[in-house]
Structure 1
């Protein structure tokens, strides 16, 4: 669906759209008609529309503008001496969202949680720049670094082999007080993450066309790093 479609949608179709998709359509249309006041845009948009279902469509449009503001894709103007709530400008994040689309916006929202420090400082910026594959690889690389540091194992072990040696029975990160099945599962969790998400980019190009997949890899890395921190604390 293109941005121009918002003016050809019926009132019923407008109310059925997910708020994030509707919001981006509305924002793109508002930019194309060069409006600077969202209330004026909404009034003009409704002017020649069929009356049936219009109230519901207008409410959906208002929700879309509210969503844009809540996600900081638009904000009130900071220049010109006007701080009228209805005046708006598109933020840097808003322009990025329009350029990359709904899938990118949803992935960014999925990652809108507090990540552990190495991921927050090194990985999130890469993701926001659209380097999804590099961000996912870097996240798993941080897990590998953390396991090596906490286990004391040498640099000759990488990826799956490192995880297996670190978490094996009698390994430096093995917890003898944990049930054996749980210990094996934990080893397999770390080894599987390395084998599936860290090693392949080392050998062949992995194209994360869906930013949601990259965001989930980063969240998995965040979970693994939190598990490592808990093990260290224990």
Structure 2
């Protein structure tokens, strides 16, 4: 058995799942070395009768990926009292009383970090998300969209009213593309109107499960997509001013 699982079970798991299964043992040991973990796992499998070199190799690769994931997520760090290559669990790891219960949270945060977020979301939303304040993170993300629309349009409206006027299809609103068809302009207006109406309304937000990190991450990514569209709008408006 490796980490309480046989080889076949372990190979069915994702690296982050293996990593979080291993984390309680790592925390308990205080100092861990990758080579010791790897060789110890091979010895355990040999005692269980697993001698197939292909299986042993695949398990080693899975453990290596899990180890690297722990490093990437800041759950492992070099042990200051030991020579390389000894590591220890970080303060963030010790906060996780039940690491597997944090799997969705960790995956969602990792998704956002890889998403090339707009700088304002990186600065103002990601820190909130890291503190597991998911409703507040969604609210702030959509607030950034609203602020950007207001700045670009020059309108002094708020919320849904701002989106309806800024992206008005006919007559063409200040952020609508006059070269696009009426249907396309209406679709763009509906996209912004719907997102703001769902997540940035007078009640704050309308996210159905504010404690769900995955849903919150998806809402933040929606805001990121809207900000990307607005950057294209900004470039178009700037080019239009230069040619007029």
| Alignment gaps of 5+ in structure 1 | none
Tell me by how many angstroms 1:140 deviates: 0.3
Counting only pairs closer than 5 Å after superposition, residues 38-117 of structure 1 correspond to structure 2 as 38-49=34-45, 50-52=48-50, 55=56, 56-77=58-79, 79-80=80-81, 82=83, 84-85=84-85, 87-95=86-94, 98=99, 101-112=102-113, 113-117=115-119
Comparing 126-135 and 25-34, the one that deviates more: 25-34
Match of 2:240 in 1: none
Of 22, 26, 35, the match for 1:26? 22
Report the TM-score when normalising by structure 2.
0.81
Counterpart secondary structure, 2:125: helix
Contact in 1 for aligned 2:198/2:205 (Cα 8 Å): no
Matches of 1:223 and 1:204, distance apart in 2: 19
C-alpha spacing 1:123/1:96, structure 2 compared with 1 (3 Å): farther
Match of 1:163 in 2: 163
Matches of 1:208 and 1:153, distance apart in 2: 30
Matches of 1:99 and 1:200, distance apart in 2: 36
| Residue deviations 1:160-199 (CA, integer Å, cap 9, x gap) | 1210111112222122111211111110000010111222
Match of 2:9 in 1: 13
Tell me by how many angstroms 1:9 deviates: 1.6
Counterpart secondary structure, 1:88: strand
Contact in 2 for aligned 1:73/1:94 (Cα 8 Å): yes
C-alpha spacing 1:96/1:14, structure 2 compared with 1 (3 Å): same
Matches of 1:26 and 1:137, distance apart in 2: 35
Counterpart secondary structure, 1:126: helix
2:33 is the alignment partner of 1:37: yes
Contact in 1 for aligned 2:198/2:207 (Cα 8 Å): no
Of 193, 196, 207, the match for 1:194? 196
Report the count of equivalent residues: 225
C-alpha spacing 1:152/1:209, structure 2 compared with 1 (3 Å): same
Report the TM-score when normalising by structure 1.
0.84
Contact in 2 for aligned 1:6/1:25 (Cα 8 Å): no
Tell me by how many angstroms 1:228 deviates: 1.3
Tell me by how many angstroms 1:133 deviates: 0.7
Matches of 2:117 and 2:147, distance apart in 1: 16
Match of 1:216 in 2: 218
| Residue deviations 1:41-91 (CA, integer Å, cap 9, x gap) | 4444454441226614344223321322244432323x2362x12x11223
| Alignment gaps of 5+ in structure 2 | 237-244
Comparing 183-192 and 224-233, the one that deviates more: 224-233
| Residue deviations 1:92-118 (CA, integer Å, cap 9, x gap) | 454456386111111011101332222
Contact in 2 for aligned 1:200/1:206 (Cα 8 Å): no
Tell me by how many angstroms 1:7 deviates: 3.6
